[in-house]
Amino acid sequence: MVWRGTFWTHAIAAFTARVWHWNGDRQGKRPLIGRMTGHIALTVLLLFLAGLSRLPAGEARSAASEAEVFTLSQAAEATQAPAHPVLRRSHSGARRTVIVRQAQPHTSIPDRPRESIITYTVQPGDTVQSIAAHFGLQPTTILWSNPQLEKVPDLLRVGEVLTILPIDGVYHTVEEGDTLASLAEKYQVEPEAIADCPFNHIRDEEAPLRAGTKLIIPNGTKPYEPHYVTAYAGPIPEDAVGSGIFRWPTSGYISQGYWYGHRAIDIANAVGTAIVAADGGYVSFAGWTDIGYGYLIVIDHNNGYQTYYAHLSNIFVQEGEQVSAGQVIGAMGSTGNSTGPHLHFEIRYHGYPTNPFIYLP
């Protein structure tokens, strides 16, 4: 049962008025009793109103009327209105609706630039691209701040600790004779860009650079250097010539694409997945490498093109053997420097790595 405070307020007020009226009519006969009764009634009214004022806002409304509170998401089911605010509907005489803003328990924290150099430990399945994307950097920045990756940019090792710069660029270790001008020329930036970089703490641009000091070269670049393996030098089958039309060497998903520091594509799948020759030719290399490729097959298509198949778990051909397009030559693996089973696939033209996506159907 709800105590209807409005009713009692009007009742006590009416009673007080009648007492004062009765006092006026009977002033000559009962002055003392009437005056005392009126004061008592007025005191009761004031105490009642003071008690209401001390009630919490929600209880005071409940004492005045029965309130119904519902969210707009419930109302939207019937009205199709967007669910943002909260409606509070009361039934005290005339119906009225009050709209208030719904509380937002979660605060969106904007991304802020990092203010220092940090490290990251390589996890299974990581690639240079995925690590760079995680930290909001270009993949080349990961390469150029970790010298062990520059010669083999695709070849990460699980557990390897990488240096992560706060901004894009090159992380350079100062050598004897280095100057701001020489570094700027080497990495194709302005000297002021190096001097003004807040992470370098260069106070005097004229002071010589101390050997061993590490500097960030903002937006600096380095030339790409392809890497080669020892090629087969034996007799070449006369008809081992490719068509120049390439097919996919295996099935799976692209775990890393072609970019400046990764002149290949990575196709991931289970260990043992069949690897086939992308075009006809002869095997110019088949075996283990010490440059991170693990077990590698190189097919020379005898028309200027070569294809590389790296990280294999097994090899089914030998050097000097002629192969045809689509022939199974090996099995997918995770040998060498690799964070998971995949095929590292390159198409080189006259020794220079090109984008395989240009040639693949």
What string of H, E and C letters represents the secondary structure of 143-163?
HHCCHHHHCCCCCCCCCCEEE
Structure token pair of residue 201: 């703490």
Give the residues across from 299 on adjacent strands. Answer: 283, 307
Tell me the C-alpha distance between 171 and 144, whole Å. 6
pLDDT score, position 59: 46
Cα distance between residue 34 and residue 319, in whole Å: 125
User: What is the H or E stretch that residue 68 is in?
Assistant: strand 67-71
Answer for the pair 142, 170: CB distance below 8 angstroms, yes or no: no
Q: How far is residue 6 CA from its own chain's centroid? A: 58
Which residues, at least 6 apart from 327, have a Cβ–Cβ distance to it below 8 Å? 276, 277
Residue given tokens 């590292």 in the structure block = 344
Q: Look up the CATH number of domain 253-358.
A: 2.70.70.10
DSSP 4: -
- For the chain, 361 residues long, give each residue's pLDDT as a single digit of tens: 444 455 555 555 555 555 555 454 444 444 545 555 555 656 666 666 656 555 554 444 444 344 343 333 443 444 444 433 333 444 444 455 444 444 444 444 445 567 789 999 999 888 888 899 999 999 889 989 998 887 666 667 889 999 999 999 999 999 999 999 999 999 999 999 999 999 998 988 888 999 999 999 999 988 777 666 667 778 888 888 999 999 999 999 998 888 877 888 999 999 999 999 999 999 999 999 877 789 999 999 999 999 999 999 999 999 999 999 999 999 999 988 777 899 999 999 998 889 999 999 9
Q: Is the pTM of this model over 0.75?
A: no
Question: For residue 25, what pLDDT is reported?
Answer: 47
Q: State the pairing for strand pair 214-218/169-173.
A: antiparallel
Phi, psi torsion values for 38, nearest 5 degrees: -65, -45
For 118-218, give the CATH class: alpha beta
The whole-number pLDDT of residue 293 equals 87
- Structural element, H or E, at residue 169: strand 169-173
Residues 6+ apart with CB under 8 A from 206: none
Q: Is 80 exposed, middle or buried (0-12, 13-18, 19+ CB in 10 A)?
A: exposed
DSSP annotation of 102 reads P
CA 330/CA 264 separation, integer angstroms: 18
Cβ atoms of 198 and 122 closer than 8 Å = no
